Structure 1
């Protein structure tokens, strides 16, 4: 089907594209939250005319979930049109330089693993598969001339082509034994055991019948002990991009991976000739590098850069290096004590727009690329922006992003910096969101006993009546290097938790990000005590400010570091009626030994456990087990290697030994997060029942094994 026909033809509309209809407000339910369509990040054509994005249509039965690509004009006013209609979703979507095609990876019928596909958006037709690998392809990138694509994959040691990888896979399957063998740290990450495979970069020409070529595995760098790429939550990625002339590839890698047990791991930016040769560092600086991006004129390479120091947190500052010369790094965003989450350069190369998380929101700033202090452009009244994109070949400057808040599901928007506002290009969930009885958070600040300014948010329940009294949920965010955000989440949804008639308090304690580098660093040598005192102060402040909170009926809950803090509250106060801890540590020493990362814990606590720093015991909740009295609901994923199940079992054993009313949820298929739809629904049911029992005199939770 021709593009003109595609855009003119009637398409199956996504529910929610119509204008908002007046409807009675209803409380949020798990079913409404989970089944709500989810809009993916915008990918804008280089000419600035079109945006491709995904729409996920969830289901409680994963086999019935759908995710496809859609197309919308950046001029606005027209409903999006569906581009794909397949069982598997598409990942890593990128436009061709001439704005006619898109590339992506997916696993379609006949594919063992994800492959690279190319779809002609203008001419229409079916997507064409351009790789047939035994190893999965990820993150495609077009060469500037549009005639080739690079991508990433994981390969076996010594395998320089796909035939060699196939042999390695077959040999592994043919083994009569099953064992993992290691000689160096790390051995596992988040939810999986690491194996011998290494990241590499391959290039495939778009000529029919062309085979991918591995350009990194033959190099000395790839065979250097300790070589690897930066580790994300679900994968390792070198984040490769083409040089402006298409003759080199730029990527981030380390040769210090095996040092992870006793030092910070430093990365460098590297350049690699595509036609053969060795990789060379672009800059002598080492540390962490994020999102390398070239300016339109090809004279500057921009990135986020964080040095590795003996601090537990360092800002990733917006920086650049000259190209092709390389050399020393220049900081672009100067005198700016905030960390850009994303940056984009205008086509004329003079201005950069950056997204900055601050106090629950994500704000838009601008800064001259020659260097300077960023200036605030837009601070949304609620929520914030994400996935900012600026097309480099557009007729005029154009800013496309996503926007959402805790009461507004993410939609694609066009930002007008001069007017300091945005206009929606999509309305996928607008109508449904308008039917829920939910309110944006109320913000307040107080000065802590230590003299720090502490940010907080209050979430109100549906049918809120300020004349009534409501039990309080004290939600504690994870991290600690994170912050509470005014956004919709599935893991701990504020409005779903408060729907049964609770008020929620969320505090950005010392160690949180979005409040300056020093504020995040001040948790060093004080991992739990001061944040715990600040949360206690926040509760006192909320009780003074909001007379509708019932201070006799309170529960604290959180996951990861939030779970650590809940465990600390168990050890240090009896003011709560109950507690809920998911994936929380209870013993700093055993957590050090079992976690997938250990050195950063030594930095936090002042050296390894055997050197005797009292923090290891003084700030371990289990040290104060004789004081434990508050009923606690424990939850843990069996595949969690970040806060392994051992710490939860220690917690459980202690609660049982001290005869504290407690309930343990072990999720065999979950890791650090509970992601399966039915598991998520049951988790919320368990939490709701626990809260109702202790805060509203509801019935006790059902006996273990009972079907709910």
Structure 2
């Protein structure tokens, strides 16, 4: 970490090195990782691949070649990674971890952009390799840089999706390719890449599933490939059904004559995820949801005990009604190195925790047990002797690595903290606390995080920043973010309260499901009760100087609050990519989302859609309001932000509108993000008596001066 801050500002947040999940060798003595750093002075991002010596704590450079990515171990001393080749090609580069820059060589070149590399050593000594890449309709690799250009800019669509997340759909689809890396008979010979085969050619399947599917959508063993894909017979815009498929492959030169096989999930028609082979390749575990059309249904565990009998599928923790006996919904699964235990990463009470369960068939199916619940675990990798390597973050630490033993009674051992548990940023665990209040529904408790500024004094009071999360089936957790960072807002001089109201994940499926047909109902009431609780119980919070902000569903809630009594409690509001009109959700790409949460198809349930429409209450809007919406957001189109801003301006309400033509539902470019933070903080601070960020920080001032500002003052609606 090259940044040491006296004050944690957006510039520090965005320029701090970003470290990937760690990739340990088999005994965990060395860890590969990539790290990128953005320089505002040079307006340039630099990336490196490094190796950490766990024993000494020393990190050394492997390569800083532009385009180098996805380092993997071939063995404990050899590394494989990808580099960008000429005209859109990808080089597969291999070298010794000692002296990589001098001894590396190119084992093969794939004439396309590839990613999500997976490797498995075969009995022959060759290495099976699988990766994802775009494929043309005929199944061959697609390379955008050398592909023929269309004569017209027109696009004719005969089915939906038309566009998804931030891209327009084309005829090309994600696919999984496989081949081998082999050496000659000469002991000094180098690995060479074989020709590669499209595992999904002729199937109409797409995997990994856009826009976020990656290595978690398929797995590789010595016996074949397992993957998940949407049902190609159903419209992807109105269905979430994702099935699991197994392809036996004998030697990774040709597919088995048995061909592709679907793994049955009787009664389950929702999304499947996290397919993983056992270490010996003889079993498959995966997660699956029961409901089609609901992305936040409970994930339940299935295991195929024998890959040669893919019709034999065991449903773990099923319960009596297929709702699942386990209260929680795991996000992903990993086998322990001996194959006797499955690990789960699980959203659990504002964290991502680690749970485990034995896999032996003859053991009683007791529910998974908690192994470790602290911060947010983002990745787990098995190590020898039943150990495992963890990567994660917290509210004050942007990256930590740790190891665990097979014995849950032994606590994790910290290997590395990129920010030294926050001290590099001037942050401390003492800034973070948790509270609860009674929810709107009987018997519910609303959990919230409280984040104080690092210079907090219990003799002073601080304005409130009420932080509402997106989703709505999501949660604020003890994790790091460069987009919605609690601490960077608190450091402006706020006490941040980040609640997880009805609909949030990690508090049981019933709590998550309760938001259906309640978008402006129970969650809004939870927030009203929370504001009252803060007034009565947090004497260091000045609720007369309160602001509220949120994105996506949190942006919807800002617009909803604006039209209801809670809106008059705040000095200013901020909506990022929020919903203004429920009717406009018909223009979204994933139609199953509003159709599930609002009770059904728009034309059959117009009253249900209208019930929670923020635009119906525009006559009540009165609080100063900043609207942010970007042009590549195809989930919630820019018309939503423009409509809200038009109403505010037409009513004469103090308001501003910030937009980025090159950003999607998120703001990812560092220069754009710095401007985003500057505009947001200037807006909020000016309404609660805090100094404007642009007037106290040269980087913020430069960001504002470097942006186009349009508008005259003194105009009347």
Distance 2:349 2:421 in 1: 28
How far 1:333 moved relative to its partner? 5.4
SS of 1:204's equivalent in the other structure is strand
Q: What is the alpha-carbon distance in structure 1 between the residues aligned to residue 64 and residue 631 of structure 2?
A: 35
Most deviating of 558-567 and 417-426: 417-426
Equivalent of 1:410, from 384, 395, 399?
399
Q: Encode CA deviations 1:500-555: one digit per residue, 9 max, x unaligned.
A: 21111111011110111111111111122221111111111112111111121111
Kindly report which structure 2 residues correspond to 1:259-658, keeping only aligned pairs within 5 A, or say none. Answer: 259-273=235-249, 274=252, 275-276=254-255, 277=257, 278-285=259-266, 286-309=269-292, 311=294, 313-324=296-307, 325-332=309-316, 335-370=325-360, 371-380=365-374, 383-391=375-383, 394=384, 396-416=385-405, 417-430=407-420, 433-434=423-424, 436-438=426-428, 439-451=430-442, 452-573=444-565, 574-590=568-584, 592-658=585-651
Q: 1:237 to 1:405 in 2, by over 3 A?
A: closer
**TM-score between both structures, scaled by the size of structure 1:** 0.87
Question: Given the alignment, which residue of 16, 24, 41 partners 2:21?
Answer: 41
Assess if the C-alpha contact under 8 Å between 2:397 and 2:418 holds in 1.
Answer: no
SS in 1 for 2:618: helix
Against the structure 1 CA distance between its residues 455 and 428, is the aligned structure 2 distance closer, same or farther, given a 3 Å change threshold? closer
Contact 2:563 2:617 in 1 (8 A): yes
Unaligned stretches of 5+ residues in structure 1 = 1-13, 17-22
Query: What per-residue deviation string (whole Å, max 9, x for no partner) do you get for residues 367-405 of structure 1?
Result: 11234311122233xx232211112xx2x2222112331
**1:176 and 2:159 equivalent?**
no
Q: Residue 180 and residue 151 in structure 1: after superposition, are their counterparts in 2 closer, same or farther (change >3 A)?
A: same
CA apart distance, 1:170? 5.6
Contact (CA 8 Å) 1:411, 1:424: kept in 2 or not?
A: yes
Q: Shift of the alpha carbon at 1:698?
A: 6.0
Contact map agreement 1:204 1:210 (CA 8 A) in 2: yes
**2:117 aligned residue:** 140
Which residues of structure 2 form unaligned runs of 5+? Answer: 183-190, 319-324, 695-703, 711-717
From 232, 249, 267, the equivalent of 1:256 is 232
SS of the equivalent of 2:178 reads strand
How large is the Cα RMSD of the aligned pairs?
A: 2.8
- Counterpart contact for 1:505–1:539, Cα < 8 Å: no
SS at match of 1:637: coil
Summarize the alignment of residues 99-248 of structure 1 with structure 2, pairs less than 5 Å apart: 99-107=76-84, 110=86, 112-121=88-97, 124=100, 125-145=102-122, 146-160=126-140, 165=142, 172-173=148-149, 175-207=150-182, 210-219=193-202, 221-222=203-204, 227-229=205-207, 231-234=209-212, 239-245=217-223, 248=224
CA distance in 2, matches of 1:291, 1:652: 41
From the superposition, tell whether residues 269 and 586 of structure 1 become closer, same or farther in structure 2 (CA, over 3 Å): same
Secondary structure of 2:326 counterpart: coil
Higher RCO (CA 8 Å, separation ≥ 6 residues):
1
- Please state whether the residue corresponding to 2:291 is helix, strand or coil: coil
Q: Is the 8 A contact 1:555 1:578 kept in 2?
A: yes
**Is the alpha carbon distance of 1:699 and 1:405 closer, same or farther for their aligned partners in structure 2, counting shifts above 3 Å?**
closer
Q: CA deviation at 1:609?
A: 1.9
Q: Give the deviation of 1:263 after TM superposition.
A: 3.7
Change beyond 3 A, Cα 1:178–1:350: same
Indicate if the aligned counterparts of 1:117 and 1:128 stay in contact, CA closer than 8 A: yes
What is the aligned length?
A: 665
Cα drift, residue 314 of structure 1: 1.1
Shift in CA distance, 699/300, structure 1 to aligned 2, threshold 3 Å: closer
Shift of 1:127: 3.6
The alpha carbon displacement at 1:151 in A equals 1.5
